[in-house]
Structure 1
């Protein structure tokens, strides 16, 4: 007979969002058990961008210095035309940026971020990490929930947080909104040694991050791992692929063959065998029901154009923990308040990501107007990102706190 173990807090999903949530709860003195489907905890992928809204939370959780140990801090975020190599606009991310937001913008390897949070969870003494736990069933129970796994184990909990990603099983129980939406775009990702770029690509901005944009496509380049590697993300609209290019590697080459030499060279170095469709969902309420709630992509999956997927999951972690602390003994009220607090923020990020995808990939006259308008802004004008980077999930912005001192 299967023995059911009991947990105060149970998290489904051992990715960045799930571990950050566990750590945030542990920092509030809560015992947490995390169930991970894979045989071991870890992250796939390569580079990851983290803005001040993420750093603010990582600092509070006590892991920022570990996360940034091998990180790269660009001094500029640069937008260039992928067809002509002409600069469009840039944003300084050094001293004026630090003064404005309290933290620098940085990029790191996804595995480095995950590892730092995992180690902090292990060192807390309050987080139990269980791998090879494929969740098959979630049952709401009075005052909690029951989770059943494929290996026959079962867990009863007073508070269940599902951070199990875009295809969350738990979400389907809470929200009836069908399958994720396919944007039509795909992304190829990977790192290359910086020497491989030679005099092309990323070396044009050795202390910056570059986004090259064109009709229905873009390429992102930035150093990671102490500048030894360059992370590249090539994205394009599959609906605009030339006829007769069904092979996914050939599609990548054909789409980017008309770009400037710097972009074409970088794309040629990429792994052509694997790509990721870009999926998301429309903003939707209803993440929480009783003593069950969602976090990260399970609650609010978004397109990549603001580089905020991980950032919003990280914000969720402390917002949820704070809500639990603010509602002692009432998990249902805590989870309802957490959703109410987070929904307007995450919905705005989701919809703005959509908008920026359209702006980056526009063609014709629209691209000319985009370039003309963006070229007029100063490199130290941060108004466009104040709402995003200045946000604190506890409810006040960095600038608000500075004014209050």
Structure 2
């Protein structure tokens, strides 16, 4: 299949280039049309799609040209005129070129997260879909990439549904959340968050639905604490108000950027802490001083503990990769069949109109006199016969052509 032979992917990934160099090839969505459009004909690209995530930049395209290292350099120079020659040469040298069936396999792997920094992360499905939608809106894509992306996304969804590749969490936020849920938190509990960055914001957002009796947020910058508290229906304070405002809590989740511990046993003593407490410490280094763990009854969940669990879960995910690969290979065959069918549809789309014109010419010119001699009932019967034949003369060649294209046995029944 010529279209498949001409399909290529140039991949710049974290694994080979490093995140800093990959980042230099990112292009904002609203700049992509003006950046790429004028250069596509130069490289005989019939279709084109650009994918950029936090750890990869990839170019999907269909072109009959041979892309060796020199041509990849020329492509990068055209697409990135302001990038240094040193960066372009390095990227071209370290890029990975996939073509033909391997390029299709690659887009299936990318969409299913089998080629991701974190195997099993679902965000890549949305990223691939949005990349296609932008390329389609910009007028860069045709049937090949459309069907390829459609089948790749279907494959990814099947993999997430039928395998265990994404069932075990590996992010600190998700692991911490599950650990807390396992401790049967309820509405009578009071919770404190220390820090107001992305990690605390994420876990606080997940826990918001539990409607805790009291929610307090402490941060070095009080305004940030108040902003987060407003989102999760809590109260915000400066970190310097901790001893004064914290009170006797049930759960404490902390994650700050401090280079030393910020909560110690003396502060807990001033709070008058009593009974068993749950503390989740996601900071590196830890925000909780060892003295707290030594002097108080603490159910302590540390970032180190969560990292170990994440490693175990990642190994479990990796065990599923072989099964995922099998699903990918099955779906690649479906893609080839779907694209062949589409090519056939396009090639034969004029047949119905041609058949209608032949029928009309026969009725209105060739056999007009003979028809006029018929009574109304005979005319009606003849028209029914002609309509039936027209339908069959269209459908039968279509079925025969599909069987030939798909290498089916022509002895299979055609008329049903």
Give the TM-score, by structure 2 length.
Answer: 0.21
Q: Which has the higher contact order (CA 8 A, sep 6+)?
A: 1
Which of these two proteins has the greater Rg computed from alpha carbons? 2
Question: Higher helix fraction: Structure 1 or Structure 2?
Answer: 2
Give the TM-score, by structure 1 length.
Answer: 0.22
